[in-house]
Amino acid sequence: MTRLEVSTQPYPDQKPGTSGLRKRVRVFQQANYLENFVQSIFNSLEGLQGATLVVGGDGRYYNRHAVQVILRMAAANGFGKVMVGRGGLLSTPAASCVIRKYATFGGIILSASHNPAGENGDFGIKYNIGNGGPAPEKITEAMYAESKKISRYLTLDTPDVDLDSIATLQLGDMQVEVIDPVSDYADLMQSLFDFDRIHALINSGIFSMRFDGMHAITGPYAAEIFETRLGATPDTLMNAEPKEDFGGGHPDPNLVYARELVEVMFGANAPDFGAASDGDGDRNMILGRKFFVTPSDSLAVLAANAHLTPGYRLGLAGIARSMPTSQAADRVANRLGIELYETPTGWKFFGNLLDAGKATICGEESFGTGSNHVREKDGLWAVLFWLNLLAVRRESVQDIVTSHWHAYGRNYYSRHDYEGVDADGAGQLVDALRKLNGNLTGKRYADYEVAFSDDFAYTDPVDGSISEHQGIRVGFTDGSRIVFRLSGTGTEGATLRVYLERYEADPDKQGLDAQDALSELIRIAEEVAGIKHHTGRQAPTVIT
């Protein structure tokens, strides 16, 4: 096998976002585009000679090709071993699990998460460090710096490796171990949750559920866990066969894109419990019969009830949430007498807190929750956590949530997404808001008085690193909030996210529709930001 040094030229657009590098497939198909970024990852790492790397992805179009490219380049760059999921598959939380269980050097995960797939869809690649979590900013900045000056990449002149059978193979001087992508993760879940009790609930004859894999990576994981280990019947699973184009769907588990599941859960004879996960398995949506659980409420409920599960029965060290996530979890932390950490959006910001033992459970409003068991958000983990609670409490999903509101108060909360808007217009909106910061304090909008407005900045309590410009906040004297933020997960145009929150302590006033309860804040958001003017949109693309 010949080691090749291939000349190349830099691309100017390989700056990783909050979850790695995401572009259209056609961008990655440009000459040396993928190879440049992979070599930039390797160039930015120290001590990789002879080390073990984990590789896998969500199975979207271009995944198989990319895995083969990475294997050849890893061998040429001196890795001693690569562990790769059979078929090139590994969900994002499963990849984190494998990195941590086998104490590997790190891993490369191929995914564009909840973005659409297929030949005309999106592709993504990110590097996770040895703790199993996404590379911190200092490493992604080093990757970007390497990508701007790269002049050559290293690879082997060798045929593709057979990835479809579990085996240990040789690629040059490097060992390739093709592993079962499901078993290590499923074993970890069984160690955290009471599978016997969940099995009894699922097979009680009085409980029914549906899980929607959205033709993405979690289908095989759901089949092993729900069917094989927990005894669910095959009709429990929907869209469980992974497809390279995710069946033509948009694998984002929300009320708009998981429409098939929503129609089942809000239809006649609806099951007791419904859930969905996204393209790479790190997000989740939780539904009861004709009832939607917001991700913010889900985080708060899981934290408040963690002691009911085997993996968390000894209590929580702390709770961490992203800044735009509702303050419902803050109230749980306060009652438990533990710390609440407010971080920027992006799971990498939770890594230091988890590693330092400061937090146990983390969550983002963007349908992501997780804990210190891995260093990624974890969709199936959240689903199993809910099933464990249902098995112990023997109440409906709606009853568990409403009793939580009665105990802690309800944080009415909603996120309005304006997807694919003109990037210049979205940038002008944010710039205009930044100029207003400090000038809104004391201003009244109907019954609301502004207490503060700022551009959120975060100082990491572990390493002291500072992250600025993480979202525009407008806070009111009654604790209500509006947050404006541009998302970094899209591949074309810009996505403006507007987050709205109002607290209600009175149980008699907690039963309103969230959009009705937040209607005045929605109007104020338009008045303050001029959303229609800057985006040209009359309404959000997605409301959750």
- Known catalytic residues? 113
For strand 209-212 and strand 273-277, is the pairing parallel, antiparallel, or unpaired? parallel
List C-alpha distances in Å: 165 to 53, 58, 161, 181, 389: 19, 18, 10, 11, 37
Contact 430, 483 (CB under 8 A): no
Residue 74: both structure tokens together:
């890893």
How far apart CA 342 and CA 459 sit, in angstroms, is 10
How far apart CA 506 and CA 345 sit, in angstroms, is 30
β-sheet bridge partners, residue 467: 458
Type of residue numbered 312: Y
Contact 365, 342 (CB under 8 A): no
How far apart CA 182 and CA 165 sit, in angstroms, is 14
How far apart CA 195 and CA 199 sit, in angstroms, is 6
**8 phi, psi to nearest 5 deg:** -150, 175
Contact 124, 115 (CB under 8 A): yes
Angle (CA) 251-327-486 rounded to 5° is 50
Residue 500: both structure tokens together:
């709205």
Residue 100: both structure tokens together:
């941590």
Residue 349: both structure tokens together:
């910001």
Q: Which of 126, 123, 42 is closest to 92 using CA atoms?
A: 126
- Say which residue the tokens 């309005």 belong to: 416
How far apart CA 96 and CA 181 sit, in angstroms, is 12
Q: Report the Cα–Cα distance between both ends of the chain, in Å, rounded.
A: 53
DSSP 164-207: SS-EEEEETTEEEEEE-TTHHHHHHHHHHS-HHHHHHHHTSSS-
- Tell me how crowded residue 165 is: count the other CB atoms within 10 A of its CB: 9
Helices (H), 235-378: 259-265, 295-304, 328-336, 348-355
Helices (H), 409-491: 423-436
How far apart CA 456 and CA 344 sit, in angstroms, is 8
Side-chain-facing half-sphere of 471: CA atoms under 13 Å: 25
Contact 53, 167 (CB under 8 A): no
How far apart CA 333 and CA 501 sit, in angstroms, is 18
